[in-house]
């Protein structure tokens, strides 16, 4: 296995070939350069999502950038206000659609906090949430890095990554029945237990996945073309992280070791031994390397969780929150009524407000829920990490070249579903 940590800790100065350390060197004074508006997107083959950028360029250099989002707006909050707490799970799947499990988990934890049953969720369910969540995180990073490399012309790593992602999604499909939009987690637990032999298959997939990662590592990490377009471009400083509310790999690449799993452990994350990789420069390559290392750390977490997972129930035993088992629903009137009430009225959540945050694929995924005591939330707000991460593009782009937009935007990893909701 090739080691990515030595690249992360490398202190050697970065060589900038096509980068922008000194943009004035590239100015050609004899050419007339007048500002020209340039429209990129909303649908652009090299664009990492549906977004429109109105750039003002002088020659190849960007002088100002207006990033316009909203093309994937699906009224998540408005729909959530009219749905029961359980009906919102499918909507959360479609937020960050490459790691739906993490959204499911984040939302479930928020509702559980409002209900005050956070500590009563069965331990097995918490371990299952960690395992499926970390699988989702790996698939999120795989997509980001694969697509990022593809946009720079490296198609093979994309295919390799998607192959690995497909193995992971097959496993999640086995668990939840759906390949992409799982809706697997429920308030108070998860909807079904892990199938027989699933963990052995997961171990096997992780083993093969490490091989894929090392292949991709060989193709990209020391690739001259790739490095030339990544190194020293789109540098984010430590100060920017707080001021712009950045989180996740983008914040960590800038050297801020903020990871919700470490700083404010939820579920059973405090029992695992894992590292939080941070970058030293804050450029595109750091964001790439941090994500690669995070995938290895996620695999470590999954393996520890598989060794530690206890037997037991997978959902809380409370008829006001969890549906009764099907055998009871069909054979007793109490369970039948309970089932009916839960489906029609929803889970009655006491009035209150909560801001609950977890580590999503792109960063701090927050749910701010205002409950008025009925079965439907008064307000269900998502704090989308991509939204804040994309906002800094307006600051990063001026001064870069047009060609730098693609890798910078790819490594910021804007997920339209989450950014536009």
Partner 1 sequence: MAQIVLDRLKEHFKAGEILETGSQHGNEWVRVQRDSWQAVAQFLRDDAVTAMDMFTDLTAVDRFVREPRFDVVLHLYSLTRKHRVRLYAGVPEHDCIVDTLCAVWPGANWFEREAYDLYGVRFRGHPDLRRILMYPEFVGHPLRKDYPKEKRQPLVRRLPGQVD
Work out whether 420 is an interface residue with partner 1 (CB under 8 A).
yes
Cβ-count burial of 45 within 10 angstroms (0-12 exposed, 13-18 middle, 19+ buried)? exposed
Beta bridge partner(s), residue 190: 185
Q: How far is the CB of 275 from partner 1 (least distance, A)?
A: 18
Rounded to a whole number of angstroms, the minimum distance from the CB of residue 291 to partner 1 is 21
- Cα first-last separation, the chain: 38
Q: Residue from 8, 47, 51, 69 that binds partner 1 (CB under 8 A)?
A: 69
Options 10, 17, 82, 159; binder of partner 1; rule CB under 8 A: 82
Residue placing its CB nearer to partner 1 in the complex, 336 or 370? 370
Judge contact between 377 and 89, C-beta under 8 A.
no
Report CA dihedral (151, 140, 358, 171) to the nearest 10 degrees. Answer: 170
Q: In what order do the strands lie in the sheet with 52-58?
A: 36-40, 52-58, 61-68
Rounded to a whole number of angstroms, the minimum distance from the CB of residue 386 to partner 1 is 11
Nearest Cα to Cα of residue 185 among 375, 342, 315: 315
Verify binding: residue 336, partner 1, rule CB under 8 A: no
Is 388 a binder of partner 1 (CB under 8 A)? yes
Q: Of these, 248, 366, 410, 416, which contacts partner 1 (CB under 8 A)?
A: 366
Residue 43 burial by Cβ neighbours in a 10 Å radius (0-12, 13-18, 19+)? exposed
Where does this chain touch partner 1 (CB under 8 A) — which range of 95-103, 128-136, 137-145, 385-393?
Answer: 385-393
Q: Does 244 bind partner 1 (CB under 8 A)?
A: yes
Using CB under 8 A, count the residues that bind partner 1. 43
User: Rounded distance, CA 36 to CA 392, Å?
Assistant: 22
Shortest separation between residue 243's beta carbon and partner 1, angstroms: 5
Stretch of 110-118, 148-156, 179-187, 404-412 lying at the interface with partner 1 (CB under 8 A): 110-118
Q: Are 188 and 318 in contact (CB under 8 A)?
A: yes
Nearer to partner 1, 211 or 242 (CB): 242
* Least gap, CB of 383 to partner 1 (angstroms): 4
| Residue 70 contacts partner 1 per CB under 8 A | yes
- Collapsing DSSP to helix, strand or coil, 395 comes out as helix
CA dist 163 and 238 (Å) reads: 35
Q: How far apart are CA 121 and CA 267, in angstroms?
A: 9
Tell me the closest approach of the beta carbon of residue 20 to partner 1, in angstroms: 21
159-198 mask for partner 1 (x: CB under 8 A)? ----------------------------------------
276 binds partner 1 (CB under 8 A): no
Measured from the CB atom, the residue of 10 and 75 that comes closer to partner 1 is 75
379 part of the interface to partner 1, by CB under 8 A: yes
Angle at the Cα of 98 from the Cα atoms of 247 and 94, rounded to 5 degrees: 95
Residue 243 touches partner 1, criterion: CB under 8 A: yes
Strand pairing category for 364-371 and 352-359: antiparallel
The answer to the question of residue 56 lying near partner 1 (CB under 8 A) is no
- Nearest Cα residue to 98 out of 46, 43, 135, 54: 135
How many residues can be counted in the chain? 421
How deeply is 110 buried, as exposed, middle or buried, from its count of CB atoms within 10 A (0-12, 13-18, 19+)?
Answer: buried
Q: Is 36 in the site for partner 1 (CB under 8 A)?
A: no
- Which of the stretches 71-79, 219-227, 302-310, 339-347 binds partner 1 when contact is defined by CB under 8 A? 71-79
Query: Is residue 225 a contact residue for partner 1 (CB under 8 A)?
Result: no
Rule CB under 8 A: say whether 79 interacts with partner 1: yes
Asked if residue 411 has a cis previous peptide bond (ω within 30° of 0), the answer is no
- In 3D space, the residue among 207, 215, 290 whose CA is nearest the CA of residue 2 turns out to be 215
**Between 264 and 271, whose beta carbon lies closer to partner 1?**
264
Binds partner 1 by CB under 8 A, chosen from 55, 65, 108, 114: 114
Binding interface with partner 1 (CB under 8 A): 68-70, 73, 75, 77-79, 81-82, 113-114, 116, 241-246, 256, 258, 263-264, 352-355, 364, 366, 368, 370, 378-379, 381, 383, 387-388, 390-392, 395, 420-421
């Amino acid at each position: 296995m090739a080691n990515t940590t030595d690249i992360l800790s490398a202190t050697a100065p970065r060589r900038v070939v096509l980068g922008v350390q000194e943009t004035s060197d590239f100015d050609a004074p004899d050419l007339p350069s007048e500002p020209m508006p340039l429209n990129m997107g909303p649908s652009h083959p090299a664009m990492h999502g549906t977004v429109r950028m109105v750039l003002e360029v002088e020659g190849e250099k960007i002088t100002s950038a207006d990033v316009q989002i909203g093309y994937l707006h699906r009224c998540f909050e408005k729909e959530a206000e009219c749905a029961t707490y359980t009906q919102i799970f499918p909507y959360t799947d479609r937020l960050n659609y490459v790691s739906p499990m993490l959204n499911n988990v984040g939302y479930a934890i928020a509702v559980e906090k409002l209900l005050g049953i956070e500590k009563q969720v069965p331990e097995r369910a918490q371990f299952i949430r960690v395992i499926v969540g970390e699988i989702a995180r790996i698939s999120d990073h795989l997509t980001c890095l694969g697509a990022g490399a593809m946009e720079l012309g490296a198609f093979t790593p994309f295919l390799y990554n998607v192959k690995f992602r497909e193995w992971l999604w097959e496993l999640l499909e086995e668990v939840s029945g759906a390949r992409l939009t799982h809706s697997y987690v429920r308030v108070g637990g998860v909807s079904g237990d892990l199938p027989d032999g699933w963990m052995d298959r997961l171990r096997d997939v992780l083993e093969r996945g490490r091989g894929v990662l090392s292949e991709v590592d060989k193709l990209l990490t020391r690739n001259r073309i790739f490095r030339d377009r990544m190194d020293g471009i789109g540098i984010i400083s430590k100060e920017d992280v707080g001021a712009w509310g950045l989180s996740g790999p983008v914040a960590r690449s800038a050297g801020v070791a903020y990871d919700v799993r470490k700083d404010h452990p939820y579920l059973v994350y405090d029992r695992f031994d894992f590292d939080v990789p941070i970058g030293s420069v804050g450029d595109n390559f750091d964001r790439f390397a941090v994500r690669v290392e995070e995938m290895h750390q996620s695999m470590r977490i999954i393996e520890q969780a598989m060794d530690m997972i206890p037997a037991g129930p997978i959902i809380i035993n409370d008829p006001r929150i969890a549906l009764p088992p099907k055998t009871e629903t069909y054979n007793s009137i109490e369970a039948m009524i309970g089932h009916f009430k839960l489906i029609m009225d929803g889970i009655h959540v006491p009035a209150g407000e909560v801001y609950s945050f977890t580590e999503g694929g792109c960063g701090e995924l927050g749910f701010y829920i205002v409950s008025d005591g009925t079965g439907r939330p008064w307000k269900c707000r998502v704090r989308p990490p991509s939204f804040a991460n994309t906002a800094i593009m307006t600051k990063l782009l001026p001064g870069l070249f047009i060609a730098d937009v693609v890798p910078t935007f790819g490594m910021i990893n804007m997920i339209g579903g989450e950014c536009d909701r």
